[in-house]
């Protein structure tokens, strides 16, 4: 029996264009994980989640274990809407869809918007998982570089002008991580934010704003595109993975209700009553603002330690952007970072080779992504020291 | 801005062919829910889940709250494989994919197998949620009636013979719930099971076996199609929703590793470490065989009470199949059950009108589905009494 013969056309195309590939090798146990975009272990709220589950199940008994479950699920929506409003996003209940993390949100949006002929604009570099998701639906991309001020909107405009002149198709949406971008750590300036919104109106495309790191600023914060959008063009994707716990799988899409109705219709894993209600009770039990302040302070300290270590241990030829928040530092070196990974792992430190973040993997050869979120200060220094010895 | 203009072709088609529609009205609080396919509230393991979370987080701290999470997630796979093997399904780890319940499993299979031109065989009647999922991908169905011995495989064969003779396209897969079918409660005989497997080999189609109720037999149990499959044609979908708790969202697909690899690739909500690890610890803490025996005894008693009440309170013209397990009884009456719902709700009892379970809703006018899983014996009797008064 030929299994592949049963696959749909789009499945066959997706698997052919982008076969499930090798990803990072398994990391040795003792390895210092500068590759992992995970929250700091000591900031994970395991005690509080334990207490939240106890309270939830004592109060509501079987309710959160059923399909339709707990009244706390509506509470979670309110809590998320409150967090959004603090950052200038005024969203109503029917404009919010809870998802199993940001990845499901991105996949759902792709499912609803992308044909095999749809043109999508992505940043170069961009979040590799999102790129993999889009490649499951289309093979048509425009890749626009990111610099220290975020997406280079002038270059995007040039491409749009040229395509329009030539009568070529225009993109259906832009996928961007404007704030503390993954992997560069850089943030789109306000000027560029305005510019990209103007372009979206002029060339009639949507913006998928991935804002997973938006709350984790060190000092000045940026206004989300969603808060500047007067036109309903921004589909805002957020997540509690970076500020609470990824294992709970709580993310969302905020968009106009017409989008949310369609997205909800194609979301067929149903609600996740136990996880959603637990999260709501957890959020009730803590001061989220205080928690976010703690995260910011910790990650800012970690980042500062990482940057000093880079200065001290990396070859003079290496360079990087200085982030103002988020989880990552993007480093440019002289060698091929894919080839440097094995020796680095042998030294006991991991990073993500730049190639994974680009549509054309060749563009990423000289880059690597370091995370300052997961390892503690001491291990960050030791990790960079080991990385330095590999690079030299 | 015209939101719909941004939708993909397949999204537009799906929304046009089958717009997000009205479903059951909200049920009054005091209503006796003979509509709900939920487990019995008093059998929900809220205390045990609370204890499982406490144990998990005390032992593993932050681990289950991370992306890659807990070693218990592998444990859960082993536990599910053990349950499958008891029922004659010998499946290895790389042939199993954990999903967020059976609905996500069915949606994933649809995502990977169905084009807009794909022909799918469904049972008439069938599980309405699965039908909604398939309609999101195709508009081409063959609907084959179910009787008290399950799917009428002779009728399926007739259709296949005719289509082959005429040079028409053959189906890519059959969606069936062979054991304690939703909604009819009937079970496919062993003879028909053999027949349908022969047909699948002869006409080269796959079988999506939805086995959500398979463990809940009253006396004799049936061999799953997956256990009889020598050809790798059966994709077996299971779930802990009916035997543990739907709110945990734990389901799976068991199929040959080539299918699992592709399905896993398109499953973009990632793993659900907290829910999966909690379930594993819960399953470790109980005797699942004993639990299943308790469920069987309870549901058998409920079913027997329901059947007696039907005899006593329903008009003589009403008829039904006697189930040997599962959650449901399928009742045929003389009126239009859609029109009977509002008066029934006013009397304080709910059921699901038959129309929802058919591709052509007209075929379901005279049927209704009753559930004996959720209400207790006393309320079942009272519910049927109220239903009887509406029907008379």
Q: What DSSP assignment string belongs to A67-119?
A: SS--THHHHHHHHHHHHHHHTT----GGGEEEESHHHHHHHHHHHHH--TT-E
**pLDDT given for residue A220 in this prediction:** 83
Please give the DSSP secondary-structure letter assigned to residue A25.
Answer: P
The verdict on a CB contact (< 8 Å) between B249 and A262 is no
pLDDT value of residue A20 = 81
Residue B376: exposed, middle, or buried by beta-carbon count in 10 A (0-12, 13-18, 19+)? middle
Residue in B153, B135, B240 with CA at minimum distance from that of residue B189: B153
DSSP state of A286: S
Contact state of B104 with A258 under an 8 Å Cβ cutoff? no
Chain B positions in Cβ-Cβ contact with residue A57 (cut-off 8 Å) = 46-47, 49-50
Instruction: Please give the pLDDT value at position A236.
Output: 98
Task: Indicate yes or no: CB of A7 within 8 angstroms of CB of B38.
Answer: no
Q: Would you state the structure tokens that stand for residue A358, as one six-digit string?
A: 């680009």
User: Could you give all domains of chain A from N- to C-terminal order, each with its CATH number?
Assistant: 25-43+290-391 (3.90.1150.10), 48-285 (3.40.640.10)
Cβ separation B67–A246 shorter than 8 A: yes
Q: Which residues are bridge partners to B371 per DSSP?
A: B328
Instruction: State the Cα–Cα distance between residues A30 and A348, nearest whole angstrom.
Output: 7
Q: What is the pLDDT of residues B346-390, one digit of tens each?
A: 999 999 999 999 999 999 999 999 999 999 999 999 999 999 999
**How many CB pairs below 8 A link A and B?**
230
Name the packing angle between helices B128-135 and B101-113 (round to 10°): 30
Question: What does the pLDDT look like over B271-324, one tens digit per residue?
Answer: 999 999 999 999 999 999 999 999 999 999 999 999 999 999 999 999 999 999
Pairing of the two strands A173-176 and A367-371:
unpaired
Closest Cα in chain B to A38: B66
Tens digit of pLDDT for each residue in B61-112?
999 999 888 999 999 999 999 999 999 999 999 999 999 999 999 999 999 9
Best of B58, B269, B373 to mutate (most A CBs within 10 Å, chain A): B269
Assigned token pair, B377: 């014996």
Judge whether A8 is closer than 8 Å to chain B, CB to CB. Answer: yes
Nearest to A1 among B57, B113, B233 (CB): B233
Which residues 326-385 in chain A show a CB within 8 A of chain B?
A: none
pLDDT (0 to 100) of residue B17 = 84
**With 0-12 CB in 10 A as exposed, 13-18 as middle and 19+ as buried, what is B380?**
buried
Contact A233 B100 (CB under 8 A): no
Q: What's the burial of B23, exposed, middle or buried (CB within 10 Å: 0-12/13-18/19+)?
A: exposed
Residue in chain B nearest A26 by alpha carbon? B68
Give the other-Cβ count within 10 Å of A289's Cβ.
11
- In chain A the first and final C-alpha atoms are separated, in Å, by 53
In B106-227 the beta strands, taken as DSSP E runs, fall at 119-124, 140-147, 150-151, 173-176, 206-210
Tens of pLDDT, residues B223-237: 999 999 999 999 999
Return the pLDDT at B198. 98
Confidence of residue B120 (pLDDT cuts 50, 70, 90): very high
Structure tokens at B253: 């697909």
The rounded distance, in Å, linking the Cα atoms of A327 and A182 is 8
Average pLDDT, chain B: 96
User: Rounded distance, CA B82 to CA B88, Å?
Assistant: 10
Distance from CA of A34 to the nearest CA of B (A): 15
Q: Are A177 and A123 in contact (CB under 8 A)?
A: yes
Contact B72/A at CB under 8 A:
no
**Per-residue pLDDT reduced to its tens digit, B130-188:** 999 999 999 999 999 999 999 999 999 999 999 999 999 999 999 999 999 999 999 99
Collapsing DSSP to helix, strand or coil, B349 comes out as strand
- Contact at CB, A53 and B58, closer than 8 angstroms: no
Per-residue pLDDT at A173: 98
Q: Do A101 and B270 touch (CB under 8 A)?
A: yes
- Across the interface, do B64 and A11 touch by the CB < 8 Å criterion? no
- Residue B161 and residue B170: Cα distance in Å, rounded? 10
Is residue B151 helix, strand or coil? Answer: strand
Q: Whole-angstrom Cα distance, residue B274 to residue B300?
A: 33
Q: Is A23 an 8 Å CB contact of chain B?
A: no
User: In sequence order, what are the residues at sequence separation of 6 or more whose Cβ sits closer than 8 angstroms to the Cβ of residue B298?
Assistant: B40, B43
In whole angstroms, what separates CA B103 from the centre of its chain? 8
pLDDT computed for residue A68 by the predictor:
82
Residues 100-139 of A with CB under 8 A from B: 100-101, 103-104, 106-107, 111-115, 118, 129, 133, 136-137
Query: B30: number of CA atoms within 13 Å, CB side?
Result: 4
Query: What are the tokens at B162?
Result: 């005719």
Residues in B touching A15 (Cβ below 8 Å): 262, 265
Confidence of residue B24 (pLDDT cuts 50, 70, 90): confident
| B282-320 as b/e: b if 16+ CB within 10 A | bbeeeebeebbeebbebbbebbebbbebbeebbeeebeb
A261 touches B: beta carbon within 8 Å: yes
The span from the CA of B231 to the CA of B254, in Å, is 14
Q: How big is the CA angle at A154 (ends A148 and A159), to the nearest 5 degrees?
A: 125
* CA-based nearest residue to B110, from B183, B201, B172: B172
What number of helices (H) and strands (E) belong to chain B? Answer: 13, 14
Q: Which residues of B touch A262 (CB under 8 A)?
A: 3, 7, 11, 15, 20
3 state DSSP class of B131 = helix
Instruction: Check whether B21 has a pLDDT greater than 80.
Output: no
- Please state whether beta strands A328-332 and A319-320 pair in parallel, antiparallel, or not at all (unpaired): antiparallel
Task: Residue B320: name the closest of B379, B374, B389, B391 by CA.
Answer: B391
Model pLDDT, residue B235: 98
Give the residue-averaged pLDDT of B247-261.
Answer: 97
Would you tell me how many other CB atoms lie within 10 Å of the CB of residue A312?
Answer: 11
Q: Say whether A1 and B103 touch across the interface (CB within 8 A).
A: no
H helices of B190-322, in order, are 190-202, 225-228, 257-266, 273-285, 288-313
- Chain B residues inside the 8 Å CB shell of A248: 65, 274
Taking the Cβ of residue B23 and every Cβ of chain A, the question of whether any pair is shorter than 8 Å is answered with no
- Beta strands across the sheet bearing B150-151: B96-99, B251-254, B234-239, B206-210, B173-176, B119-124, B140-147, B150-151
Across the interface, whether the CB atoms of A8 and B112 are under 8 A apart is answered yes
Q: How many CB atoms lie within 10 A of CB B4?
A: 12
Query: CA of B43: which chain A residue's CA is closest?
Result: A62
Q: Which residues contact A275 (CB under 8 A, 6 or more apart)?
A: A248, A249, A250, B249, B272, B274, B275
Tell whether the model's pLDDT for residue B48 goes beyond 80: yes
Cβ distance B44 to A65 less than 8 Å, yes or no, reads: yes
CB B269 within 8 A of CB B100: yes
Q: How confident is the model at residue B20 (pLDDT cuts 50, 70, 90)?
A: confident
Check residue B388 and give its pLDDT. Answer: 98
Query: Which chain A residue has its CA at the smallest distance from B200's CA?
Result: A1
Tokens read off for A310: 């880079």
Contact (Cβ atoms closer than 8 angstroms) between residue A366 and residue A354: yes
Tell me, yes or no, if A266 comes closer than 8 A to chain B by beta carbon.
yes
Per-residue tens of pLDDT for chain A, all 392 residues: 899 999 999 999 999 888 887 788 889 889 999 999 999 999 999 999 999 999 999 999 999 999 888 999 999 999 999 999 999 999 999 999 999 999 999 999 999 999 999 999 999 999 999 999 999 999 999 999 999 999 999 999 999 999 999 999 999 999 999 999 999 999 999 999 999 999 999 999 999 999 999 999 998 889 999 999 999 999 999 999 999 999 999 999 999 999 999 999 999 999 999 999 999 999 999 999 999 999 999 999 999 999 999 999 999 999 999 999 999 999 999 999 999 999 999 999 999 999 999 999 999 999 999 999 999 999 999 999 999 999 98
The tokens describing A197, both together, are: 């919104």
| Chain A residue at shortest CA distance from B20 | A265
- Cα A373 to Cα A24, A26, A43: the distances in Å are 18, 19, 10
Provide the pLDDT for residue B220.
83
The interface predicted TM-score (ipTM) is 0.97
How far apart CA A247 and CA B270 sit, in angstroms, is 10
Cβ within 8 Å of A, B 142-181: 172-173
- Cα B199–chain centre separation: 23
């Amino acid at each position: 029996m030929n299994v592949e013969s049963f696959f749909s056309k789009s499945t066959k195309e997706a698997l052919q264009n982008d076969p499930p590939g090798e990803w990072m090798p398994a990391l040795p146990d003792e390895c210092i994980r500068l590759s992992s975009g995970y929250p700091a272990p000591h900031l994970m709220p395991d005690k509080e989640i334990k207490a939240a589950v106890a309270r939830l199940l004592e109060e509501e008994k079987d309710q959160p274990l059923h399909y339709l479950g707990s009244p706390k699920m509506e509470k979670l929506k309110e809590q998320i809407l409150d967090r959004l409003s603090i950052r200038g996003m005024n969203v109503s209940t029917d404009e919010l869809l809870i998802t199993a993390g940001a990845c499901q949100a991105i996949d759902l949006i792709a499912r609803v918007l992308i044909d095999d002929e749809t043109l999508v604009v992505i940043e170069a570099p961009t979040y590799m998982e999102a790129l993999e998701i889009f490649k499951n639906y289309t093979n048509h991309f425009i890749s626009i570089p990111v610099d220290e001020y975020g997406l280079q909107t002038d270059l995007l405009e040039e491409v749009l002008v040229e395509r329009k002149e030539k009568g070529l198709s225009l993109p259906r949406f832009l996928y961007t991580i404007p704030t503390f971008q993954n992997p560069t750590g850089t943030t789109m300036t306000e000027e560029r934010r305005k510019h990209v919104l103007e372009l979206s109106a002029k060339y009639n495309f949507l913006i998928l704003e991935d804002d997973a790191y938006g709350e984790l600023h060190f000092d000045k914060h940026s206004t989300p595109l969603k808060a500047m959008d007067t036109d309903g063009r921004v589909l805002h994707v957020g997540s509690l993975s970076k500020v609470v716990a990824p294992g709970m799988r709580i993310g969302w899409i905020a968009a106009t209700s017409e989008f949310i109705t369609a997205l909800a219709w194609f979301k067929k894993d149903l609600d996740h009553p136990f996880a959603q209600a637990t999260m709501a009770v957890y959020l009730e039990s803590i001061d989220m603002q205080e928690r976010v302040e703690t995260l910011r302070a910790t990650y800012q300290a970690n980042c500062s330690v990482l940057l000093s270590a880079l200065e001290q241990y990396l070859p003079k030829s290496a360079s990087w952007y200085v982030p103002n928040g988020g989880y990552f530092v993007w480093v440019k070196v002289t060698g091929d970072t894919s080839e440097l990974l094995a020796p680095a792992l042998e030294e006991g430190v991991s990073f993500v080779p730049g190639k994974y973040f680009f549509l054309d993997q060749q563009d990423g050869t000289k880059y690597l992504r370091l995370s300052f979120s997961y390892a503690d200060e001491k291990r960050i220094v030791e990790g960079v020291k080991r990385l330095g010895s590999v690079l030299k």
